[in-house]
Amino acid sequence: MRRIQTFSAMVLLVSLFLIFFYSTLNLETTYSRMAGPEELLTHPGLHVHERDVKTQHSNTPQPNAYNVSICKDFRKSVPQNAAYWNRLLWSALRNLDKRETLLSHDLDWSRCRETNQELLQTNVHDFTSYPVLFQDFLQAMNCRTPPVLLNQPNKCPSGEGNQTFLLFAIKSNLGNFEQRQAVRETWGREGKLKGGPRVRTVFLLGSSPLDDPDLSQLLSFEARHFGDVVQWDFHESLLNLTLKLNLLFQWTLKYCPNASFVFSGDDDVFVNTPRLIGYMQSLEPSKASRLYVGHVISTANPLRDPRSKYYIPLSFYGGPYPAYAGGGGFLISGALMRPLHSVSRIIPFFPIDDVYAGMCFKALGVSPEANERFQTFDIKEQDRENLCVHKDLFLIHQRSPQQIKKLWKGIHSPLLTC
């Protein structure tokens, strides 16, 4: 009788083990199948390739693949709706919250572009109605690492006396030599300003369209002669300015990681460098380490008119814009470059670069500070010849190379009385 009871107990234990094992296996299979639709919400270019995903093998819980968190205010500001960009973002945030390895944004440049039209139209029902430039942007949303054509790896040497206080990172185009030269001769001149902190300047460029004259040899000579031109192999366009902003994050982290402040701006602005440096030197350390200051646009919304160069289709993005500093020129803390780069790997590219910058800062919980001395939209017409007005400003947009030189000479004239 005892043998029969023992045998029955063993049979019962084995049956329970088999039931548990098959239940676990079924749950894993079900979960794997449920993950499929989630992947369909990600960008078409974000195909999963084993060599592109860096899996973490650790028993210690990790915040996420990029060791970054996205603040609640940013999450609340972006509606969870059917717009394509919104779906991309919330898909990425769900992966982040589940502490899963995010799909890689480091796909090789030669295969990052999405060319499957059926896949694009499945995700964006009116894709074919988008302007050609916008279609091109959407196809290349996952293209973040173009080849470097010209570089300045020694721009910011380390060591005592070489600390970069301010890095001017200026967006420029291939043919804008006059603008670059005006900046070099005036507000972007490198060195120590009257014994003060050190300033360095770099111009960020893409490549020109195939139909434009080939200026590559001239640009190579300019880069060698002045040592301040960085160029990547991507086509210059309004919607590719977001890519250029992201490349600024990447380049600064690699080649100028110790810069105290970084100024991002256009090559047609006038900057009063001594006044700007004086402002930075006056900041409390706590403020200097989380600075995002410029001409702030706080109540902007997407423009839905297809005739506007800033047109954003409703099917692409739904919701308001965050407060952001105008892209003509704004100042940020060097200490924010690494976290900015980290959140930019989570937040999908947006076709307007200064709006995208505002999104990244909001995701970090950093609000833009409005300063009336940044005049991104210019000053009153009657004041444009008044040197005393310019003497107290930090930035004015937009000025020709000749006007920049004239203003710089004027505000520094010993004859000027204000």
Q: How would DSSP label each residue in 363-404? A: HHT-PPEE-TTEETT---GGGTT-HHHHHT-SEEE---HHHH
Same domain for 163 and 131, yes or no, is no
Same domain for 133 and 152, yes or no, is no
Confidence of residue 100 (pLDDT cuts 50, 70, 90): low
Same domain for 73 and 180, yes or no, is no
Whole-prediction pTM value?
A: 0.84
**Which pLDDT does position 99 carry in this prediction?**
76
Q: What is the mean pLDDT of residues 335-363?
A: 97
| Any domain includes 135 | yes
Domain that holds residue 95: 63-139
**Which pLDDT does position 294 carry in this prediction?**
98
**Which pLDDT does position 326 carry in this prediction?**
96
Same domain for 128 and 172, yes or no, is no
Same domain for 169 and 122, yes or no, is no
Same domain for 286 and 153, yes or no, is yes
Judge whether residue 50 has pLDDT over 50: no
Number of Cβ within 10 Å of residue 72's Cβ equals: 9
Number of Cβ within 10 Å of residue 404's Cβ equals: 25
| Any domain includes 343 | yes
Judge whether residue 193 has pLDDT over 90: no
Least reliable range by pLDDT among 63-72, 249-258, 309-318, 387-396? 63-72
Same domain for 81 and 190, yes or no, is no
Same domain for 152 and 80, yes or no, is no
Same domain for 129 and 173, yes or no, is no
**Which pLDDT does position 195 carry in this prediction?**
66
Q: CA–CA separation, 185 vs 329, rounded Å? A: 18
Judge whether residue 124 has pLDDT over 50: yes
| Any domain includes 7 | no
How many residues are present in the chain?
418
| Any domain includes 57 | no
On the 0-12 / 13-18 / 19+ scale of CB atoms within 10 A, 89 is buried
Judge whether residue 56 has pLDDT over 50: no
Judge whether residue 24 has pLDDT over 50: no
**Which pLDDT does position 158 carry in this prediction?**
84
| Any domain includes 1 | no
| Any domain includes 305 | yes
| Any domain includes 96 | yes
In percent, the amount of the chain with pLDDT more than 90 equals: 76
Domain count, the chain: 2
* C-beta separation of 275 from 373 below 8 A: yes
**Which pLDDT does position 110 carry in this prediction?**
86
Same domain for 282 and 135, yes or no, is no
Query: Cα 250 to chain center, whole Å?
Result: 9
Confidence of residue 46 (pLDDT cuts 50, 70, 90): very low
Task: For residue 113, give the nearest of 136, 129, 132 by alpha carbon.
Answer: 136
Q: What is the mean pLDDT of residues 188-212?
A: 89
Same domain for 236 and 313, yes or no, is yes
Least reliable range by pLDDT among 28-37, 73-82, 100-109? 28-37
**Which pLDDT does position 105 carry in this prediction?**
55
Indicate the helix (H) or strand (E) that contains 277. Answer: helix 273-281
Q: CA–CA separation, 42 vs 33, rounded Å? A: 16
Q: CA–CA separation, 36 vs 46, rounded Å? A: 13
- Cβ neighbours for 76, distance < 8 A, ≥ 6 positions apart: none
Q: What is the dihedral of CA 243, 221, 273, 387, to 10 degrees?
A: -110
Partners of 332 in the beta sheet?
Answer: 262, 292
Residue 359: give its domain's CATH number: 3.90.550.50
Domain closes at, from 111, 139, 167: 139
Mean pLDDT, the chain, whole residue set: 85
Domain closes at, from 139, 160, 192: 139
Domain closes at, from 139, 172, 194: 139
| Any domain includes 112 | yes
Same domain for 346 and 199, yes or no, is yes
Q: Render pLDDT for 266-309 as a digit per residue (tens, 0 to 9).
A: 999 999 999 999 999 999 999 999 999 999 999 999 999 999 99
